[in-house]
Amino acid sequence: MHLITQTKNSPPSSQWGFYISTFGMVFILLWLGIFKFTPTEAMAIKPLIANHPLSSWLYKLWSEQMVSNIVGIVEIAVAILILLSLKFKQLRRYAGIGVCIIFTMTLSYLFTTPNMFKHVDGVPVTDFFILKDILFLGFGISLLQSAKK
């Protein structure tokens, strides 16, 4: 008994993982991007951005909320670019670059933000929320690779 049937316009089953990852990435970037417009998130990301050599200067130009808004705009723009890249394959390269930049930057906060690593029962632990970005970086690299095909 077949529960799922392939239609002429549906993606081949070998691409389901790609589409699940793609829509998952879009959903997360949109959600996080929208959340950046809240004072709670603006305050939460300030220690990360303020302690990073590539982004600390932003607070000299703009307020805590404006910096967070800019990050949110970038995340939302990359999410839209990913969606558009499903229809326009030539955009995949730019979407992949955007994803790689976002998640390389967030992963680097592990090393630039003070007190990110703590020892619990002799085991180094960190903010595991940021570690998910390893997978997202992998998706960005896959998106770049798929643009070459």
Task: Quick: pLDDT tens for 106-117.
Answer: 999 999 999 888
β-bridge partners, 123: 120
Residue 147: pLDDT band by 50, 70, 90 thresholds?
A: confident
CA distance 144 to 92: 6
Residues 112/49, Cβ–Cβ less than 8 Å:
no
How many contiguous H segments (helices) and E segments (strands) does the chain have?
A: 7, 2
Phi first, then psi, for residue 8 (nearest 5°) are: -60, -35
Residue 7: pLDDT band by 50, 70, 90 thresholds?
A: low
Residues 145/115, Cβ–Cβ less than 8 Å:
no
